[in-house]
Amino acid sequence: MAHHDTFHLAGRTLTSRLLLGTGGMSSVDSMEQALRACEAQVATVAMRRYTTGAPGGKDLYAMLRDLGVHILPNTAGCHTARDAVLTAQMAAEALQTDWVKLEIIADDDTLLPDTTELLKACDELSATGMNVLAYTNDDPIVARRLISAGAVAVMPGASPIGTGLGILNPHNIELIVAESARHHIPVIVDAGIGTASDAAHAMELGVDGVLLASAVTRAEDPVAMAHAMKHAIIAGHYAHHAGRIPTRTHAQASSPMEGRAWKDQVL
């Protein structure tokens, strides 16, 4: 196994770089099938939105534990640092975890992060010993400040939540990767992934992983899409480490010009 086939995330060593969100799936059975197909080892659960009366009559938490999947509670639905901190503390007590995906939304129309409240909550939760994985925008300066505030992972959105627009600003993602690498902080692209090529593109930019939900849960065939995402992330990750050829303005023959059997004749 190559050294880059595993990565460390908040005290866990993972072999899958795909994290799957549970929001939007039609049933717990479908969620289980998708998890098996993509082999994700981490799944997020929105603490403010999930109820135990899930479709299908099964308990989501029990299913995740049976599969050996790490549960990453998130604070989706929170609009203030105060609400997010309280939600994270409740998750820590209920699930006996020191993990939280910190998500604070500015408004319900754009679902974009409120970075002011995010930084405040990240600083407060990190000071209590929580491992904060911070969902943010694609601003490298905000990423730098989140690292200073104690975030153990930076999770920039590729594009707004649920849009499926893919990576709108790849240059900024590369800047965030470079900044985070200096501090040995993993980067996980989160939100906006629409299909497998988007996930591969994210990995080719050098991120450590991809968290997606709608791309699988709202696909026509969630299990097939989950399977596709698994392979896309593996392919993108290996492509990044392989080192792509530089882009060129003009064509360049793949075979050498030297040693040809005959020379071109100029008439």
Which active-site residues does the annotation give?
Answer: 101
Q: What is the pLDDT of residue 257?
A: 64
Q: What is the pLDDT of residue 263?
A: 62
> Looking at the domain assignment, is residue 223 inside a domain?
yes
Element (H, E) at 7: strand 7-9
| 162 appears as a binding residue in the annotation | yes
| 192 appears as a binding residue in the annotation | yes
Q: What is the pLDDT of residue 61?
A: 87
Cβ atoms 102, 126 nearer than 8 A: no
CATH number at residue 220: 3.20.20.70
Number of neighbouring beta carbons within 10 Å of residue 86: 14
Number of neighbouring beta carbons within 10 Å of residue 217: 20
The residues that bridge with 153 in the sheet, in sequence order, are: 133
> Looking at the domain assignment, is residue 120 inside a domain?
yes
Q: What is the span of the domain harbouring residue 208?
A: 16-48+70-239
* Burial degree of 35 (CB within 10 A; 0-12, 13-18, 19+): buried
> Looking at the domain assignment, is residue 128 inside a domain?
yes
d(CA 178, CA 44): 26
Q: Which residues contact 204 (CB under 8 A, 6 or more apart)?
A: 236, 239, 240, 244
Domain count, the chain: 1
Q: What is the pLDDT of residue 3?
A: 46
| 126 appears as a binding residue in the annotation | no
Q: What is the pLDDT of residue 248?
A: 87
pLDDT < 50 positions in the chain: 1, 3, 53-55
> Looking at the domain assignment, is residue 133 inside a domain?
yes
> Looking at the domain assignment, is residue 9 inside a domain?
no
> Looking at the domain assignment, is residue 173 inside a domain?
yes
Alpha helices in 108-207 (DSSP H): 115-127, 140-148, 170-182, 196-204
| 259 appears as a binding residue in the annotation | no
Q: What is the pLDDT of residue 190?
A: 92
| 46 appears as a binding residue in the annotation | no
> Looking at the domain assignment, is residue 8 inside a domain?
no
